[in-house]
Structure 1
């Protein structure tokens, strides 16, 4: 059984570290427990004796704080006297450096302790947790609750204590932490300028190494963000055959947001320019010279509604998949852009559409993109990277003569022509999948018709520009071993074409 204390931030987080340390939580619990909570001290002494908790937290990226302090910093020490400064005597004029974090939805942190069974002490901790109003600074408002669970919840990044590699350290409560908190309050109540914490027999806290949980394979994390398309309080549904409409609007907005993210992440002009160039290439697919960026970059992927008993294939969600965004700086930029995209309105030719992007966390849709499987089939058609045959190859194949013979009723000529075209399609799709380097392909099927209800015939999907020159088909790919997603294949992989889904 697990004891959880969960806190959802209402207006961001201004602390120095993310996730907030277990010691911050403990001190906040001590503060609110002073208001007539029966048996609070014995419950908190029991809690400080527990092993460091596992911490679950939303993803977050650092940002410049929107807050500025306009009051004297009374915690500063006068270098001449060694005493605390007071406004009436001398107040430090240097502004205090404030930290801030942009939290991804649901902007939540949870602390998880493994307990043998429910007890009176743990029940008191649950009762105290309901009283929390802030976690960290006074402006870090939260809604909190304590609860029991048989399993650790999913959907948040899991940070485990006792890390053996280079992670980071968080402050955790140690034996005597409650006594230290009470003594600090007593001494500062008697002498507001008292700041000699080193005189206490113990600090009441210690540092514990934490690290985010990673999979056994140790592959770089591929960031994925999902957004719902909303207009006027309901979902906006696009026709999947017009993929370029939602994709084009999202990519236009993305280009604008990248510049905002760079300005927020860096105040230095040189660093800001470097971030803008990085974002334009890795997130927008634009090279420095204004051409097309040839390396892997983020894909805007419309998600046709193919789940549930009545799939209609309309697009009500889009995913931003950060291909190439695995380095620390690129990942931080991706997360900042994702946070800025939340609740932004799509623009079509300079006209506001009223459609807004809202960040969503849906395990079913995430599984549709990432679940390992041996067989994958297309949801949107795969655009081949070249026609099956060029003119010279058609002539060598005797295409004109074979078609004439097929029309005259020679079935063998028609079968040979169909077989040659199918083999070339398989060859082209296999080459595209092999370039992904995800696994050995055993078999490939192609069809102009969709595999499932909700999708459309490949020829019905509108294309423009370079995509119009290439044929498109629905494909089904079988691998020798199950492989994880996301898998997006073909020439239009960055604009919504070639999305594959796993089969049971």
Structure 2
């Protein structure tokens, strides 16, 4: 066991709820406590001349990286009583006003502020990792980091942190909603994950700030020609004219949006794995002949295969065509086609080895066999070759996969997650969003992320899945060998738009569910043509992005 202890010295906690500025956060989110440790690390950077202190500082960075890769911790805490929240009018730290109004008591532009607090019956909180233990190489560094933490949340929320002995750690109050159990979540808490420290470092902007103050000190100490030279270098590097009251580069407020659902320890109940609207019993066609094609040819292959199916199936039923007899789109799940490519393994290059047919779970097997038999079997009952004409890409022939031990890429159980399912899935082909996001990711990153995750949640519910416990987005897939979500070099082409319509956004997704999921998992508006195909990943709590481009380059 490994745990971190937290004692609120004043008997109350003052921190603002992430989603409600008028509500106090309680219990403290694990991500907030990690940020407090990181702040202690950033604010105590030693000079490079002090080699011993600098080595210890580097050890603290490695300890934080170890900590951010642990699973979400359990928590022990007691409920507190929330104080009434009132508006308090305070003078802001606005140094652009005239010198006469610099003194706070004489400022007239006071602004409303709130300071939500929770009074604590027990001021102790514990973060508990049941199956983990701090390596000896990190233990001393973690103890130093704990001593550096003086507050969690508002500056008035003074704390003491330490590493308790295992026998001193009480039983957890809440635990992460486990893979095999589920109860209604009592709270959803923000947690750290892989890459959090580097993200906080970029937001803290320490390098730019240190360079600014070093340059200012050098200018103020110089005279004559040397001072003019330093001022010119300063203005060239920062792009602003030098003046005495120039503000340093800002530190940006970090936003950690990775969350975990928590439940009381005595409310875990057994549940069955979740399933999608598609049957896990896939029809797999293996490539017999034809040119090597990558995942970028997904649209052409799925379109040609759908055409071959409809050619051998007259009249074409609604569960295959996806359209009602009057031509209107079907409201029921229908046949989905997707590629089976070599991804997620060492030396994976994304080349397609076959195609899969995902049948609607609600269809009877007799009806499915009657509709597809003329495509898959010859009149004498032998496996028939399926020929796909792909235009400039050439011609493919496919055959029903019936080998006892097919390659991993063509194994039904590995595609669908096996009989027990998987809690963690990531896209092989990018998901096409069902609607256009209104927020701009360049200027409204947090709002855009929230909007897109809501779209993904709706897509999961549309195919029968529960709301994911965690969601992450990227232009790069988590599976080695899969192309990027954007068109271009080593990228995935946009899904063709309908006549008169515009192309929709597409993104790679990483999903973790609180219950095991049996696939196949196909998300978004392109799910019936191979877009939004997800494959299982190892069940891990942190979002462990590995180098996964064909050029072995990761873009976290």
Q: TM-score, normalised by structure 1?
A: 0.44
Q: TM-score, normalised by structure 2?
A: 0.41
